[in-house]
Structure 1
């Protein structure tokens, strides 16, 4: 019986040898690009070759293009003493159910006593701005910094781009905080994320615009050439007070764009779009559509819609008009 068992076992032993199938990296990258970011991060631990493939900038750009077809929104709210909440959720859930409930966990909750503002998002990264005020008998000190979050991989950067400002104790530092705009964008030519901040600073008896660019990666901030707008950039607050000059910037294809003007708001010709190329760091100006023939009562809005600039404004206080720039730079 033992001999029979031995023979039976031998009969089931495989005689054929298995051959290894090699897949080209291009095919593996194409398959992986369809996966969500959480799965891809886990696959980086599979082997050194997969880690190198997934970390390659070319693969990252390929995955970003696929991910852009599944957009997410990020809900942000302030709980004052408790901190801030940043919760992402897919747009398709909102389309299926206009009334949904979102929940915050420990990662999405930022426990910070410092004032926080969301600058913007780009390619899955969220840029936040923090500032903290301290007072001494002789001066007021402002400390500000940036932090970047990847809500998909649940990672945060350390404090970056730290800047400190001081002013005599009699001055109101809150004015300095009100007179600045920041925009977050990406320069594909150098594969660099940048934050462009425009701040109003008083120079003796006059005010001037200071434009500063922070580059993520080398953690470097530097001033670049500015452009002329009128005395205030608080467009969102003082539109009807005729002191506005610059809206919140929007990022599009390696550029940052603002809705701006040069003088007091009396004619529509004074509105224009100012573009900053993140690679050359040079400015361009575009006039608004020729059909824009009235000064709107409410603040005009410049946004990005379907990878094109979109300009909208109220019409006779009864509706809104939308202009879609199908060909970039064409009025």
Structure 2
């Protein structure tokens, strides 16, 4: 151990960065110096965050949450092809859905006929079971965020219907309570958590135009309607995605057009948003049967490319992932056994302990 302790920080960092992320829990117990390095935010940012070459994301395979590494750099000048590879798996439970916040994964699980919630930090190898107040309904969904006053994490539970009811779970009190929220609009599509708050696509009753709205986990209230950079209708395709947890990206495609457009926020807060056009591209190369409402996408801002992943309408299975870029650039990404993968969300590690 003395020899290992004498290694330079740069060499130790290089060794640790090449280990599977889910193996770092065992490595942390080796010595205090290695434990401190693995938990150092600078180490995480360099190898897994904004400065990293690869993007981490969560995919579902055979009802298991898998941690995946996405390399979008194998394009244009590089000789290495783009790829997605598995680097970790949550094996012990059957997963229905996954939501990401601040390095935590909120996993909706099913054991026989019983649905429960599991919080998982893959980087630290921690898990925590959370009991629901009442039975799970197929229209129920969840979001996770944290209070800006003390970084206390919370879970929002709601229903995808106009008669929405909202419950919130507080990690510090370890309890649920009902929120007194009445509105005349409905959460309509997806959710992405940024800076501790969750953003949704919603629309008002009896109206067709959609808008962005934020749930603020500090005030435990929804903010005002926030404008999108286009005017979508229910038949159009709108998807949200996080850009390494710093910005929000939105993909838009009219149902009767071949052009897709991606916008990225230049400012994003619960009460305000501004947008910048990121990428426009023709999608005639994609199969017309792809179900875009059930698709996912990721953005590599520096490379000016995006990955799109969708479900085939005819077979109901995932088929191929595409990298798209400027000037008509696109490439297919190799996926192992693509018929069983469901793409869920991006993932950025954190050394935050589960309360």
- TM-score with structure 2 setting the length: 0.57
> How many residues end up aligned between the 2 structures?
253
Which ranges of structure 1 fall in alignment gaps of 5 or more residues? 1-27, 79-83, 135-142, 166-175, 202-206, 234-244
Q: Tell me the equivalent position of 2:60.
A: 76
Report 1:153-168 matches (<5 A). 153=124, 155=125, 157-165=127-135
Q: Do the aligned partners of 2:215 and 2:221 also contact (CA within 8 Å) in 1?
A: yes
Partner residue of 1:321 out of 261, 276, 280: 261
1:327 is paired with a residue whose SS is strand
Q: Tell me the equivalent position of 2:96.
A: 117
**Greater RCO, CA 8 A, separation 6+:** 2
**Residue 309 of structure 1, CA deviation:** 2.1
**Residue 129 of structure 1, CA deviation:** 0.9
Partner residue of 2:235 out of 273, 297, 304: 297
Alpha-carbon distance in structure 2 between the residues aligned to 1:73 and 1:223:
32
Q: Do the aligned partners of 2:69 and 2:86 also contact (CA within 8 Å) in 1?
A: no
Alpha-carbon distance in structure 2 between the residues aligned to 1:217 and 1:33:
37
Q: Tell me the equivalent position of 2:250.
A: 311
Alpha-carbon distance in structure 1 between the residues aligned to 2:132 and 2:224:
31
Query: Are 1:146 and 2:143 matched, yes or no?
Result: no
For residues 185 and 194 of structure 1, do their structure 2 counterparts lie closer, same or farther at Cα, with a shift above 3 Å needed? same
1:249 is paired with a residue whose SS is strand
Alpha-carbon distance in structure 1 between the residues aligned to 2:102 and 2:122:
11
Report 1:1-331 matches (<5 A). 35-36=16-17, 41-42=25-26, 44-46=28-30, 50=33, 61-66=41-46, 67-68=48-49, 69=52, 70-78=54-62, 84-92=63-71, 95=74, 96-98=80-82, 102=86, 108-110=90-92, 112=94, 116-131=95-110, 143-153=114-124, 155=125, 157-165=127-135, 177-187=137-147, 189-199=149-159, 208-216=163-171, 218-230=173-185, 245-266=187-208, 268=209, 271-289=210-228, 292-293=230-231, 295=233, 297-305=235-243, 307-315=246-254, 317-318=256-257, 319-328=259-268, 329-331=272-274
Alpha-carbon distance in structure 2 between the residues aligned to 1:249 and 1:100:
23
2:45 is paired with a residue whose SS is helix
Greater share of helix:
1
The two structures, once aligned, show a CA RMSD in angstroms of 4.1
Alpha-carbon distance in structure 2 between the residues aligned to 1:161 and 1:298:
37
- TM-score with structure 1 setting the length: 0.60
- Which structure is larger by alpha-carbon Rg, 1 or 2? 1
Greater share of strand:
2
Q: Tell me the equivalent position of 1:140.
A: none
For residues 34 and 316 of structure 1, do their structure 2 counterparts lie closer, same or farther at Cα, with a shift above 3 Å needed? same
Alpha-carbon distance in structure 2 between the residues aligned to 1:89 and 1:288:
33
**Residue 89 of structure 1, CA deviation:** 2.7
Alpha-carbon distance in structure 1 between the residues aligned to 2:255 and 2:139:
30
Q: Do the aligned partners of 2:236 and 2:255 also contact (CA within 8 Å) in 1?
A: no
2:242 is paired with a residue whose SS is strand
Q: Do the aligned partners of 2:100 and 2:193 also contact (CA within 8 Å) in 1?
A: no
1:65 is paired with a residue whose SS is helix
Q: Tell me the equivalent position of 1:242.
A: none
